Amino acid sequence: MQATHSHPAVHDHHAHAQPTGLMRWITTTNHKDIGTMYLWFSFTMFLVGGILALALRSELFQPGLQLVEPEVFNQLTTMHGVIMVFGAIMPAFVGFANWMIPLQIGAADMAFARMNNWSFWLLPPAALLLVISFFVPGGAAAGGWTLYPPLSVQMGPGMDLAIFALHILGASSIMGSINIVTTILNMRAPGMTLMKMPLFCWTWLITAYLLIAVMPVLAGAITMILTDRHFDTHFFNAAGGGDPVLFQHVFWFFGHPEVYIMILPAFGIVSEIIPAFARKPLFGYTSMVYATSSIAILSFIVWAHHMFTVGMPATAQLFFMYATMLIAVPTGVKVFNWVATMWKGSMTFETPMLFACGFIFVFTMGGFTGLILAITPIDIQLHDTYFVVAHFHYVLVAGSLFALFAGVYYWLPKWTGHMYNETLGKAHFWLSVIFFNITFFVQHFLGLAGMPRRVPDYALQFADFNMISTIGAFGFGITQLLFLYIVVSCIRGGEKAADKPWEGAQGLEWTVPSPAPHHTFETPPVVR
């Protein structure tokens, strides 16, 4: 994914005395380099988190305890969640933002180039803390990725390492978000009004505001855990006048917007790809922008649907149920818009389009289970079961991750200057979508029938589906090595990519050469 300086059309006078080798990457302030590093970092963490997932699925292959002790199992589930959310999905979208936002709005770089470097280089130490935490006494954090006290107050030093890591990752996210907001609001090419901006930029603008609003809330919550653990404060200890449920309210006030932080940029990517391959403009650009904003605003008033079983008043349960159900409206608008965009188009199904269509199909199933879970009485039955596990993997894996894959295949020619292997790309899609459903569809049944999540062992009637799920998980995991192979071979060579390799693609990023030169849009383009 390296940008080169060789293209004749490039004004290269800025590329003087660049450090080379490792120092190039450590000192870089170039949005493309930083975007590349974000993407490699997140893919690395994706593999780490994936290995944890395969370990825990292996334990669940059969009833009984075979491979890991229950306490280790809890570390696996916890760290799988933390690493995938904060280490894989979120940085991957920031990587896309770094690469694509300046290219899409015609800016020369991100607004704060040095801060951009710093926000990336905060990530590896945080990741290191998370990985090291497995080897401290007591092991890694084992209280679930939600870190609910009092259990998280009981943990060993692994919990402290996780808290520090989350602080660092949060700081990185806030800096990245400030950078994105500033870039989008101030550095658009002349003529590019907000309502002419590509939807990917719009969704990231809204996401960045969400991040700035809620990451400090998470920081506050985990700091209170830290002081409860070490300095005898009793924020979450009833014996000292605190309340364990307070943490849940604060955590989910962060946590629910966080869910949309991980899906809104995915909506943006899909909204770029569907029109490109349908060769037809997005059906309702304006309504997509409004739908995205509505989802973001609603995300602040639905948090307690994650905690219907804590025992809140009927009025609170009703309020959070209605507010949550309401989110189905703007989400539906998005899905209808994508389908209407495909309607009467002239579609081709290269890998990005396959992943985008797969995204709509499978994400919508996650949306339906989300609606089922929004209904308070049903949620009370299904809360903390495998139904919930299935639901959020449908929206996070088939949602966020499939959109990320779609985006990688879509922009890989621009990043590398080469076309990827289309046959292998399609194989990657079909294997991913099939194994994904083998892994997670059966988990709906497990949850409905009464299997709780976060258990290392289960009653015998759950044995069949767990075995199927584990087989699917291994298939899905191994398939991702194919993705790595496709990307690496695309970087190393392949058919030369045209400046605009996709017939129906729109946007400024396709006006620069492929691969995108190190510096682009030093003179801003003019948008009509």
Partner 1 sequence: MNLPHHPRIPSALAGIASLLLPAASFAQEAAGPAYQAASKYNLQPPVSEIASQIYDLHTLVLIFCAVIFVAVFSAMFYAIIYHRKSAGHEPAQFHENTTVEIVWTVVPFVILILMAWPATKTVIAMKDTSSPDLTIKATGYQWQWGYDYLKGEGDLKDVADGIAFYSALATSYEERTNVKPKDADYLLDVDNRLVVPVGKKVRILTTANDVLHAWWVPALGVKQDAIPGFIRDTWFKATAVGVYRGVCAELCGKEHGFMPIVVEVKSVEDFRAWAAERQKARTAGAGAAPAPAAAAPAAPAAAAPATPAVAAPVAPAAAAPAADVPARAATSVAARSASGG
Q: Least CB distance from residue 525 to partner 1, whole Å?
A: 24
Please say if 290 is a catalytic residue.
no
Extract the tokens encoding 298. Answer: 């609603």
**Binder of partner 1 out of 124, 125, 138, 144 (CB under 8 A):** 144
- The answer to whether 453 is a known catalytic residue is yes
Instruction: Return the residues of window 222-241 that contact partner 1 according to CB under 8 A.
Output: 237-239
Per DSSP, the three-state class of 282 is coil
Contact pick of 306, 383, 414, 519 for partner 1 (by CB under 8 A): 383
In contact, 145 and 254? CB cutoff 8 Å: no
Catalytic annotation present for 306: yes
* The pair of three-digit structure tokens given for residue 296, joined into one six-digit string: 């973001």
Give whichever of 1 and 323 is closer to partner 1, judged by the CB atom: 323
**Nearest partner of 205 among 233, 231, 177, judged by Cα:** 177
Residue 234 appears among annotated catalytic residues: no
Of 50 and 330, CB closest to partner 1: 330
- Is 65 near partner 1 (CB under 8 A)? yes
CA distance 402 to 355: 6
The two tokens of residue 131 are: 């990985």
| List 38, 93, 120, 148, residue binding partner 1 (CB under 8 A) | 148
User: In 396-526, which ranges are continuous DSSP H helix?
Assistant: 402-416, 422-449, 463-492
Q: Which is nearer to partner 1, 212 or 328 (CB)?
A: 328
Residue 39 three-state SS: helix
In the set 28, 33, 77, 145, the catalytic residue is 145
Residues 263-302 that bind partner 1 (CB under 8 A): 278-287
Answer yes or no whether residue 138 interacts with partner 1 by CB under 8 A.
Answer: no
Confirm whether 432 is a catalytic residue: no
54 or 372: whose CB is closer to partner 1?
Answer: 372
Maximum C-alpha span of the chain: 71
Binding to partner 1, residues 34-63 (CB under 8 A): 63
Paired with 140 in beta bridges are 158
CA dist 521 and 528 (Å) reads 16
Ranges within 322-351 binding partner 1 (CB under 8 A): 322, 325-326, 328-329, 332-333, 335-336, 339-349
Catalytic annotation, pick one of 172, 324, 364, 439: 172
State yes or no: residue 371 binds partner 1 (CB under 8 A).
yes
Query: What is the distance between the alpha carbons of residues 168 and 347, in angstroms, rounded to a whole number?
Result: 44
352 upstream amide cis, omega within 30 of 0 = no
Q: What is the DSSP string of 95-145?
A: HHHHHHHHHHHT-SS-SSHHHHHHHHHTHHHHHHHHHHGGGSTT-B--STT
> Among residues 49 and 330, whose Cβ is nearest to partner 1?
330
CB distance 97 to 180 below 8 Å: yes
Query: Which of 31, 280, 305, 393 is labelled catalytic?
Result: 305
Closer to partner 1 by CB, 104 or 385: give it. 385
Burial of 381 (0-12, 13-18, 19+ CB in 10 A): middle
b vs e for 314-346, b when ≥16 Cβ sit within 10 Å of the residue's Cβ?
eeebebbbebbbbbeebbebbbebbebbbeebe
Active site residue 109: yes
**Binding window for partner 1 (CB under 8 A); candidates: 10-18, 64-72, 186-194, 251-259:** 64-72
Which of 31, 32, 80, 519 is the catalytic position? 80
Tell me the β-bridge partners of 496: 418
Dihedral of the CA atoms 18, 21, 27, 32 (nearest 10)? 80
The only residue of 364, 443, 466, 514 in contact with partner 1, by rule CB under 8 A: 364
Taken as a whole, the chain contains a residue count of: 528
Terminal Cα distance for the chain, rounded: 31
Q: Of 523, 387, 520, 527, give the one whose Cα is nearest residue 102.
A: 520
Q: How far is the CB of 196 from partner 1 (least distance, A)?
A: 14
Q: Which is nearer to partner 1, 275 or 417 (CB)?
A: 275
- 172 in catalytic set: yes
Using CB under 8 A as the binding criterion, the count of chain residues that bind partner 1 stands at 92
Q: Which among 99, 252, 260, 338 is annotated as catalytic?
A: 260
Residue 243 interacting with partner 1 (CB under 8 A): yes
The catalytically annotated residue of 36, 173, 369, 385 is: 173
Interface positions, 431-450, toward partner 1 (CB under 8 A):
444-445, 448-450
Q: Binding to partner 1 by residue 124, rule CB under 8 A?
A: no
Indicate which residue of 167, 188, 229, 256 is catalytic. Answer: 256
**By CB under 8 A, which span of 140-148, 256-264, 426-434, 488-496 interacts with partner 1?**
140-148
Sites for partner 1 among residues 190-219 (CB under 8 A): none
Does residue 311 touch partner 1 according to CB under 8 A?
yes
- Residue 444 is among the residues annotated as catalytic for this protein: no
Burial of 263 (C-beta count, 10 Å sphere; 0-12/13-18/19+) = buried
Residue number, 42 or 376, with CB nearest to partner 1: 376
Q: Which residues are identified as catalytic?
A: 80, 109, 145, 172-173, 256, 258, 260, 271, 305-306, 331, 334, 453
